[in-house]
Amino acid sequence: MGKTIAVFLGINGATTSLNESGVVKVYSKENENWKVIKEILLKMDESMSIVSIRENIQSTIEALGDCRIFIGNKVTGIPYTILEKIGYNIWEIEGKPEEFLDYVLENEYKQDELEFADDVKLQAVPCPVSNGKDGYFSIDLKKIQEGNINYSSKQVLLPFLNNTPFYELEIICSHEPKWLDMELKRKNLKADVESNAKNKVKITVSHKVCGES
């Protein structure tokens, strides 16, 4: 399956603001046709508390799975902050899905090609190294980023988290990456965070044991 696109729609079938209640429909293109593969009701209004807004957005994101493109008429405030933090590509478009889905998909692929070309120009991205014990790895992200600001925490850590079996990963950084917490939840991992007065944070990532929340 290719890229999926989440669209927030009102009762008229057109995109609506995340200040209102509606339904998030997840679209996937099969051959030349777009198909709705998931529908998620999302209750939102300006009278809701910040806690309720966060909870509703977070539960919707969990239901979206691997989808990383979100479209609404207006995406601002807390919903935008949460979506952007996790790594969603956010579009603000007025209209009905059939009017813009092909346009969005085409431009998403173009952006992927540009980012890939930029990555190729860089030297190999650093990755965690073994501590000498099977399954135990570490990386000094703080030192890497001080030496080359082109490397984002996602560039360095995501390939390892997605592709390398491990028991424990120790990360040294200047601050905890904003996107990391949600990614760990998605992968059923946990993180122990320690900080000191020298602007250095140690994050120890490991797998949750049975029954651990």
Once rounded to an integer, what is the mean pLDDT over residues 2-22?
92
Q: Does the predicted TM-score (pTM) go above 0.75? A: no
Given this model, what pLDDT does residue 132 score?
Answer: 86
CATH number assigned to the domain covering 129-207: 3.30.110
Range in 65-74, 79-88, 194-203 the model is least confident about: 194-203
The answer to whether 45 touches 71, Cβ cutoff 8 Å, is no
Q: Which fold has domain 4-118?
A: Nucleotidyltransferase; domain 5 (3.30.420)
User: Are residues 199 and 169 in contact, defined by beta-carbon separation less than 8 angstroms?
Assistant: no
Measured torsion, CA atoms of residues 84, 90, 92, 95, in degrees rounded to the nearest 10? -140
Domain boundaries defined on the chain: 4-118, 129-207
Amino acid at 22: G
Model pLDDT for residues 153-166, shown as the tens digit of each residue: 888 898 899 889 99
pLDDT at position 191: 93
Q: What is the pLDDT of residue 103?
A: 87
